[in-house]
Each structure stands twice: as structure tokens, then as C-alpha cells.
Amino acid sequence: MALIACFQANSRNLLVYNQCSKIQHMSESITFPGDRIASIEEYEAGQNAFDDGSDVRATVVGTAEIDKKERIVNVKHPDGLSIPKVGDIIIGSVAAVMGSMIAVSIDYINGKPTISHVECVCSTRNLRKRNVALVKDIVCLKIISHLNGTIHAAIKEPKLGVLFTKCVKCGKKVIQMRDAVKCTECSWIDDRELSSDFGNSDFIKLSAK
């Protein structure tokens, strides 16, 4: 019994030591998107953080965790906010069209639904389309960078582009005509940057490939 008690005491002491050791290597603070957390010369960007070329900054509101042992910075969001990483394929609805840019509310990341609905922006400057995408269109994009608290995406790949849209004139169903769409009701023809998966109702699964 004495041996067991001694073992239990030593185990508790070891647990306390490990917890204290972990605390020594970790510090926490509240951050907001774009907030500077550390220098890239000292730490690498981890979960919900990005490297802007000189500093590590937060992409979400949350708790900054600076792991001094592993030299990495993570930001924990209390609701488990999902932030897409560079290279991820996202599907979402167009929230705004702003000249040479669209803002997209993200609904799926690599085919998995997300309830966070964070937004990304996508440049349309070099696309020769009158309407690359319109508000409420469903689009597929690829995340290309995190810069100054903003998530940037690209649309110029065959699988990327508009997956679902309606007629801008009457709101009815449209069909693809080469690189444009035509309304089945009023015959209006309009531009869109169409995905090669346009019109495929199973596009959520396709984004996970």
C-alpha cells in the first residue's frame, strides 16, 4: 500500500510538473482579425493566423496562443470558427459585387459544411466578362492567400467559377451556352465565369476531390 501511495504521489507531482512546464511555454491574449501577434523572425503562423511577410497576425477574434517551445502561434476561436487555408477549395454564395472584386460568404471548405460563414474576396480584374458572378450566385473558389486579415481567393481554373445562377432579368432557370448562360423563360443571354461543374447538382462532393 505504501508503494502504491508513493507511486500515486509521484504521478501527481509529475502531472503538476508537466502542466507547469506547458504553461511556461504558452501565453495567451485576446486578438482581433489583423492584430499583430508576433514577428515571423521569432514564430510561425499556425491555426487561424497568417504571415503578412513581416508579422504573424490573427484571422479571427479569439485567444492567441504563443507556443514558445514549438515557436508557433495559434488563435483559438471560442466557437471553433473554420478558416480555410491556402490551397483549400471553398463553395459559397456571392455576398457583394464590387467593381473588379467579389465578396463570397463561405459555406463549404473542401466539401465540408461550415457554420462560421466567414467571407473571402476574389479579384475579377483580369477576366473579360461583364458579369463574372452576381449576388446570390453559388461559386467555387480556391484560397490563395491571407493578407492583412483578409482571405483572398482565385476563380481562374476550369473547376472554379459559378456553379449555380439564375436569370438576371426574370429570375428563372438558365442553361449553359458555351461560356455564357441563357434563360429558359425569357431567352436572355448573360456572361458568367462558369465552372466546368456548372449545373451539376452534386457539386458539393466534387469540391472535396
CATH number at residue 141: 2.40.50.140
The pLDDT of residue 76: 80
Dihedral through CA 186, CA 192, CA 196, CA 198, nearest 10?
Answer: -40
The single residue listed with the C-alpha cell 483549400 is 88
Q: Enter the pTM of the model.
A: 0.64
Residue 50, Cα to own-chain centre: how many angstroms?
12
- In a 3-state reduction of DSSP, which class is residue 110? coil
Domain boundary among 26, 44, 76: 76
Q: Dig out the grid coordinates for 111 from the structure.
A: 466539401
Residue 183 lies in a domain: no
Note down pLDDT in tens along the chain; length 209 residues: 443 333 333 333 333 333 333 323 334 456 776 788 899 999 998 888 888 788 888 877 778 888 988 999 988 876 555 788 899 999 999 999 998 999 999 999 998 888 777 899 999 998 888 899 999 999 999 999 988 778 999 999 999 999 999 998 998 999 999 889 999 999 999 999 999 999 776 655 555 45
Tell whether 173 is covered by a domain: no
Q: Which residue, chain included where needed, has cell 477549395?
A: 89
What would the pLDDT profile of 25-78 be if each residue is shown by its tens digit?
A: 334 456 776 788 899 999 998 888 888 788 888 877 778 888 988 999 988 876
Query: Considering 45, 76, 107, which residue would you say is the last residue of a domain?
Result: 76
Point out the domain boundary residue: 76, 104, 133: 76
**Residues 150, 102 within the same domain:** yes
**Would you call 160 exposed, middle or buried from its count of C-beta atoms within 10 A (0-12, 13-18, 19+)?**
buried
Please check whether residue 54 is in contact with residue 147, taking contact to mean a CB–CB distance below 8 angstroms.
no
- Round to whole Å and give the CA distance between 163 and 203: 7
Q: Which domain holds residue 111?
A: 89-161+198-206
pLDDT given at position 179? 85
